[in-house]
Each structure stands twice: as structure tokens, then as C-alpha cells.
Amino acid sequence: METRACGRILVVAVALAAAIALTSGAPSAVAQQGQSPTPIYMSPASPTEGEPFLVEADLVVPGGTAAGTVDLDGQQDIILEITTIITSPEPPGSLQHFEWSVPAVAAGAYTLEISSPFVGLVRQGIAVRPRTAQLGLVGKRFQVAVADQQAGASPAAVLLSDAGGYFTLFAPGNVELTVKLVDGRPVNGQWWVFIASMTNTGFTVSVTDTQGGTCIPFSTCPTRTYTNPPDTNQNFIDVAAF
């Protein structure tokens, strides 16, 4: 069984002509059709509302440039500035790495835009996911919820794959629990539940098998609960859950 860590996933922005324009002595680059796309990386790859995220890009620009400020334009465009020291004659362009820390934003559709006089239009649409209190795993057949016993906790779920995800309890960027469902039926005819705890606060995880939506009402569906008492830290491995 292999769990893939949430990492950075490559997304592709529109074409640039920066390299051609800079090497030909043009004062600035203009995006053209047919150029190689500019890689833009985000971490996490699918940000959730209330969670800051990192944007990275490799661009061909003159020396003396650096990542600048992050501006929200009308709550729809996220503009990533590049600061530039203007010199004459303009130095040749080279591939440089840029990083911007984007603050937490509300759920919705946004457009990332890199702004620089030396780079053509670089835009990429992204979606910031809403925070939910429940995970729906394996085609939403298994519904996973967390109840926290500590005052001030507000459990929120983030889906990582069809079979797993994690919960935060307080701060959006602080992972407290991870949950994974494994189809163990070829081995013992059962679905397996794995819960990894990274907290000593008291909590109860409930996993409900909706059996493909055939158990109605929902309260009659088979449910397994896993409880961690306050001031303890427990992981759960249940290879005979359902």
C-alpha cells in the first residue's frame, strides 16, 4: 500500500516569448502563439480556503529582478509582481526562479497573473476549494467525519485522493488527522480503515459505509467509530471495518 504525499503538481500557463525577445534585443517580451509554455507550480497543488499557498515559476528575465508583492485585483485576479532594476544597456536574459507566498483567500475561481515589463502575459486559472467538515471517499461511498472534544476546535476536511484525505482541527494549515480507505477484499473480504493521528486532543472519527447509496435512511448505514481520549495520541488500523 502506497500513500502519495501531497506535493507540488505542474500546471501550465499561456505561452511566452521572453527568451526570443530578450536575445534579440527587444525592450520587452510579448506572449506569442507557438512558444513553449511557462511552468507554474503551486504548493499545495489544490489550495483550500483559509490556507496560504506558494506559487513558483521559472522565467527568462534580465538580471536584477526578484519576486515582488502579491496583489488581489477585484478578488478575482491574483497578481504576482516582479520587481526590476532598470539598467542601460539592458543585461542579457537568463532563466531565474521566482516564488510568491499567496495569503489565504476565500473559496472560488481565480486567475494567477505574473506582471513584469520583461515577461509576456502569463495567466493561469485556479480553483480554491471550500472547506468541508466531512470526507467522501471511494466514490463518496464512505463518509468520514470528526468530532473534536476540545473547545475552539472546528474540524475541516481536505480530500487528497479518492481513497484518502486529512482533517485540520484549529488552523487551516495544521494537519491533525489523516484517513485512508483500502480495498482489502481480495485479501480478507473487508474494507480497511487507516487513521493517523498527529494530535493529543480528544477526538472521535466516524466512518459510515453508505453501500453505494442503498442504505436509506443514512442513520441505518453501517458505521465504525474510533476514539482518541484527551491527552493521548493513538493511531487506528482496522482491517475488518466493513
Q: What is the pLDDT of residues 60-113, one digit of tens each?
A: 888 888 999 999 876 789 999 988 777 777 677 888 899 999 998 888 899 999
Is 228's pLDDT higher than 90?
Answer: yes
What pLDDT does 239 receive? 97
Lowest mean pLDDT among 9-13, 30-34, 40-44, 171-175: 9-13
Sheet holding 37-43, edge to edge: 9-15, 37-43, 53-62, 93-102
**Cell 520587481 found at:** 83
When mean pLDDT is compared across 15-29, 46-60, 190-204, the lowest value belongs to: 15-29
pTM, rounded to two decimals: 0.55
Output the pLDDT for position 211. 84
Q: Which of 9-13, 121-125, 212-216, 233-237 has the lowest mean pLDDT?
A: 9-13
- Span 44-66, average pLDDT: 85
Q: What is the mean pLDDT of residues 210-233?
A: 84
Instruction: Report whether pLDDT(48) > 50.
Output: yes
